[in-house]
Each structure stands twice: as C-alpha cells, then as structure tokens.
Amino acid sequence: MAITPHPSPNQSDRRGGALPDMAVIHYTGMATAAAALARLCDPAAEVSAHYLITEDGRVLALVAEERRAWHAGAGAWGAVSDVNSRSVGIELANTGAAPFPEPQMTALERLLEAVMRRWAISPARIIGHADMAPERKDDPGPRFDWRRLARRDLAVWSDAAADGARPDAAAFADALTRIGYPPAGAARRLAAFRARFRPWGRGPLAPADMARAADLARRFPVDANADAPYLR
C-alpha cells in the first residue's frame, strides 16, 4: 500500500526498550484531515500518532513504528500503563459524528495487517482509545465497525447469546478487568464496552452485556495476550 511520509516532531524513544505489542485506533475529532495533520505535527500541541488515514484512504506516516508517538495519554490496558511505549497509534480523520468511509476502512485493514505481521500483534491487542481511557475518551466511537475488523482477524468480537445471563455489576466489572479495561466509573466502563461490542445498547446493564463480556473474558483474557516478549 502507498504510504506518504509526513514526519511529526512529537515523538521520543520507547521507554525501557519496549517494542509495540498492541495498536490503538482513534478518531481525530476535527473538522478536516488537514486540520488534524497540522495539530499532530505542531510541537506546541505535543500530540502525534504513527499514522493518519484520511477519509479518502490516504495513509500518512508521522512517526516511525520503532519510535514512541504521543497518541494515547493517560490510561492503561491490563498491566500496561505506558500505552504509548507499547503501541502503534492510528488516527482516522473523522469528526466523531460521521460514518467511516469505505476507502478509509480498507486502508486501515491493509495497514493493520502489515503492522500486526511486523510486530506479531494478536487481534486481542487491537483496541480503541476509549478502551484504555474510558473516563476521558470516546473514540473511535459507536460508528466504528469493529465487527468488520474481527471478520478479518484484525480485532476480536463476540456474538454470545444472552441465554440465562443475569445483570450482575460485580461479575461484569470483573470480566472487563480480565479483558483489559482499566479501573473507571461503572457507567463509563459500560459505555466504552458497549461502544465497541454492543453499540446499539441502551439503559442499565443488560443480559446481553453480561454474555458478551463473559465470553470475551473467557476467550481473550488480558494475561494470555500479554506474554509476547516486548523488551530487547
């Protein structure tokens, strides 16, 4: 795939010799891709990502994958608290209120395939910004098609039926922790989980939430996905 270099000054060494073993997907939340690119390359903004994908599917490389881009901020995934040092950050030009166009999604799939192959990243280690920072982030939001990525083994998904599941706040919280979600308020954790795995869900914790969380925790516990070597 064609990738256009557009280096950002907002980068540093990965801490402690870390290598990427996960990827984080974002939306820019800005009106245009050009505005997002300007911000991601502005030294005063102190934010960046490894890649920016425009609505028409152009891929811009801002930071080399071996380097630490400043995209994730405060948050965690499982035991990983410095997500920037362990991840590749991918920004999608999107306001947060619009669908993600087909050319953009196709480019993302091709990019993810290459990144995952280079760094031996498992589908369970492809997450959204809201997954690792549910208290303060919403992206890539409920319009993003995680199921589509999962069909190509570029993410994980669950269609577990709610048969017999009963709402249990403690059990749901435990399942989210086992999946990798960091501590946060119950409502924000539920919102982050639903935005990804049940974007049509509304109201209080439901049997369908319980079933999907339990299924994901059983199949993709974070410890089982964090044992790949990441230090040299």
- Active site (catalytic) residues: 91
55: CB partners within 8 A, 6+ apart: 33, 93, 94, 101, 103, 104
Q: Is 58 helix (H, G, I), strand (E, B) or coil?
A: coil
Are 39 and 30 in contact by the 8 Å Cβ rule? The answer is: yes
Residue 48 and residue 62 in contact, taking contact as beta carbons nearer than 8 Å: yes
Nearest to 183 by CA among 173, 192, 171, 191: 173
Which single residue is written with the structure tokens 């280079």?
A: 118
**Where would I find the H helices in 11-166?**
33-40, 83-86, 102-119, 129-132, 146-151
CA distances from 136 to 22, 73, 132, 139 (A): 20, 10, 10, 10
Tokens of 206: 């439901």
Distances (CA, A) of 230 to 63, 67, 73, 96, 179: 19, 14, 20, 32, 20
